[in-house]
Amino acid sequence: MSSGTEQGEAGAVGADGQTLTVTDNRTGRSYELPITDGTIRGIDLRQIKVSEDDFGLMSYDPAFMNTASCRSAITFIDGDKGILEYRGYPIEQLAEHSSYLEVAYLLIHGELPSREQLDAWSHEITIHTFVHENVKRFMQGFRHDAHPMGMLLGAVGALSTFYPDAKEIRDPLSRHIQTIRLIAKLPTLAAFSFRHMRGQPYVYPVNDLSYAGNFLSMMYKMTELRYEPDPRLERALDILFILHADHEQNCSTSAVRSVGSSGVDPYSAVAAGIGALYGPLHGGANEAVLRMLRRIESRENIPAFIAGVKNGTELLMGFGHRVYKNYDPRAKIIKKATEDVFEVTGRNPLLDIAVELEQIALEDEYFVSRRLYPNVDFYSGLIYEALGLPVEMFPVMFAIGRTSGWIAQWLEMVDDPDLKIARPRQIYTGPRTRRYVDIADR
């Protein structure tokens, strides 16, 4: 383990052979901290003290804006250049040539599968799509108007009670079967929550359909003996799942890792991720985009809306990103998929507003100077709406795709030699050592 040393002693150097010299102006002492992979270790700051009984220096980083919480070999993002890669493969290539189940395999195993491996993987996932009948029964117990994301959150957490072997997180066989179950059952639970919201009977999985095709069947099958998904919708949905599969240490993935670091089973850890994704700042921006487009109503109103954005009374939803300061590569792919979906479902006039809004914004100095580009949510809501989904289902769709990423990150974490239970420090700001006052005297 690397640690810093006071200057004068032999300085510890990082694996890159680089160091950082810090001078504490409170004491005049200097410290040499190793730099590895462009980072210093937070714990190396602890040696910087004003006195022997001083706790030592900490860093304050609310929202982890500049803190790497783990080492990971799963997803690479270069936000300045607009690059997203899963295990080194550019997202554009995966969206064009791969399938969601192949991408899930890649994220989890680190390599693309051979034909035999992919067939075996797809088969295993397909034969685990059913859920215990009691899962169906307790889902039926939710209120008639229950939010489907809340239902999904509860149902995934409850799976841990159906598979108590899942707590054997050190057992590779147990980890494998829980991985399969989670990827297989998420669409089933998601579709059940949708049918529940509609007051319609739940539809069981059909195992000779594709992953996306079976999901469409569980969502939309009515009285027909067999639901035949339109291959163009099936493909568009599969692409959306691919694009949402992972995005390194975002809010929900950090939740999965943080909760998982306690050693809990993966169902409970993934349920925590679903909870994080439920929030409007994470899984809900595409809904805001739809509301915004409806409010703009027609192309003639776009200039007035843009003027509102520039004078600070409006926000162009679906634009801007904490990490991407360039076109979000996922937005480009979704824009193209949107056109394909509308070929089947008929064109939504909101698409024309969105396209023109994008064109105007990309040429406007306000957006150019702030490096604001469309993000993944700018077009995805339009596809979901075209598929007949109410806005409550949007984060549920995100959760289905993200499940493979959450599990890949959880599996990587469980085997990480640096793993410790997540336990941030705080800066205490409250009162100290007060005398308890009897209630009669307050």
Is residue 282 flagged as an active site residue? yes
Buried-state track 137-166, b at ≥16 Cβ within 10 A, e below 16: eebeebeeebbbbbbbbbbbbbbbeebeeb
- β-partners of residue 319 are 374
User: How many helices and strands in the chain, by DSSP H and E?
Assistant: 17, 6
Taking CB under 6 A as the rule, which mask of x and - marks residues 240-279 in contact with ligand CMC? ----------x-----------------------------
Q: Is 376 in the site for ligand CMC (CB under 6 A)?
A: yes
Q: How far is the CB of 109 from ligand CMC (least distance, A)?
A: 25
What is the SS3 assignment for 167? helix
How distant is the alpha carbon of residue 103 from its chain centre?
A: 15
Q: Which residue is nearest to ligand CMC (CB)?
A: 320
Q: Which residue, 151 or 376, has its beta carbon nearer to ligand CMC?
A: 376
Q: How far is the CB of 131 from ligand CMC (least distance, A)?
A: 28
Judge whether 381 and 292 are in contact, CB under 8 Å: no
Closest-CA residue to 220 (of 243, 255, 187): 187
Choosing from 78, 109, 282, 364, which is the catalytic residue?
282
Taking CB under 6 A as the rule, which mask of x and - marks residues 199-238 in contact with ligand CMC? ----------------------------------------
How many residues lie near ligand CMC (CB under 6 A)? 17
Edge to edge, the sheet with strand 5-6 lists 5-6, 29-35, 18-24
Taking CB under 6 A as the rule, which mask of x and - marks residues 317-346 in contact with ligand CMC? xxxxxx------------------------
Binding residue for ligand CMC, selected from 139, 285, 341, 383, defined by CB under 6 A: 285
- β-partners of residue 36 are 39
Taking CB under 6 A as the rule, which mask of x and - marks residues 22-61 in contact with ligand CMC? ----------------------------------------
Q: Which residue, 217 or 286, has its beta carbon nearer to ligand CMC?
A: 286
Structural Rg of the chain based on CA atoms: 25
Is residue 196 flagged as an active site residue? no
Round to whole Å and give the CA distance between 339 and 100.
20
Q: Which residue has the tokens 């959450």?
A: 406
Q: Which of residues 377-396 bind ligand CMC (CB under 6 A)?
A: 377
Round to whole Å and give the CA distance between 209 and 353.
35
Q: Is 372 in the site for ligand CMC (CB under 6 A)?
A: yes
Query: Which residues contact ligand CMC by CB under 6 A?
Result: 250, 282, 285, 309, 315-322, 370, 372, 375-377
Residues marked active site are found at: 282, 321, 377
